[in-house]
């Protein structure tokens, strides 16, 4: 079972809902990294996306439906990726520069889908903010680029 069923809760002001995905956080360890064994992240390098192909979905319902035929681990969670509206253009530029096929992200962030604000998940909660880069067609967390000497 995947936590956080969909609802009609609005997206917070100033934020665009880029898409939904289901992922299982991967264990990480190393100097300078957060103490969380499995951090909640949108990073491709720190999560196992379910399903592997076409992992971005326009709605929470579509993401959950795509996982129905799979054996979903207990640690799997439904996530909604929100992007500050004033950063959406740069994010779209990164996607286009990478030459990857991201129809859901592009449609939601560059306005081709019409209304930009979509549904968030009822019972879900804000996990915080993460600095992500869209490098070579993948979301990468900046957590992995922390220099241990820079951590106080």
pLDDT digits (tens, 9 = 90+) for 35-60: 666 777 888 878 888 987 668 998 88
Beta strands of 31-117 (E only): which ranges? 47-50, 77-84
Average pLDDT over residues 23-30: 80
**Phi, psi (rounded to 5 degrees) for 62:** -65, -40
Say whether pLDDT at 8 is over 80.
Answer: no
Give me the half-sphere count of Cα atoms (radius 13 Å) on the Cβ side of residue 118: 25
Residues 111 and 105: their CA atoms lie apart, in Å, by 10
Domain range list for the chain: 6-150
Q: What percent of the chain has pLDDT over 70?
A: 68
113-144 confidence digits (pLDDT tens): 433 444 455 566 777 778 888 887 888 877 65
Say whether pLDDT at 66 is over 90.
Answer: yes
Say whether pLDDT at 4 is over 50.
Answer: no
Residues 84 and 94: their CA atoms lie apart, in Å, by 15
């Amino acid at each position: 079972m995947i936590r956080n069923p969909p609802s009609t809760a609005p997206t917070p002001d100033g934020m665009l809902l880029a898409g939904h995905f289901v992922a299982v956080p991967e264990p990480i360890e190393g100097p300078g990294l957060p103490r969380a064994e499995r951090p909640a992240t949108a990073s491709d390098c720190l999560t196992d996306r379910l399903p592997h192909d076409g992992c971005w979905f326009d709605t929470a319902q579509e993401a959950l439906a795509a996982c129905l035929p799979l054996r979903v681990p207990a640690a799997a969670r439904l996530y909604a990726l929100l992007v500050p509206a004033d950063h959406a253009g740069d994010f779209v530029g990164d996607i286009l520069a990478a030459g990857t096929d991201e129809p859901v992200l592009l449609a939601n962030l560059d306005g081709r889908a019409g209304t930009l604000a979509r549904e968030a998940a009822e019972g879900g909660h804000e996990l915080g903010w993460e600095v992500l880069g869209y490098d070579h067609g993948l979301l990468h967390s900046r957590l992995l680029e922390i220099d241990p000497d820079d951590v106080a």
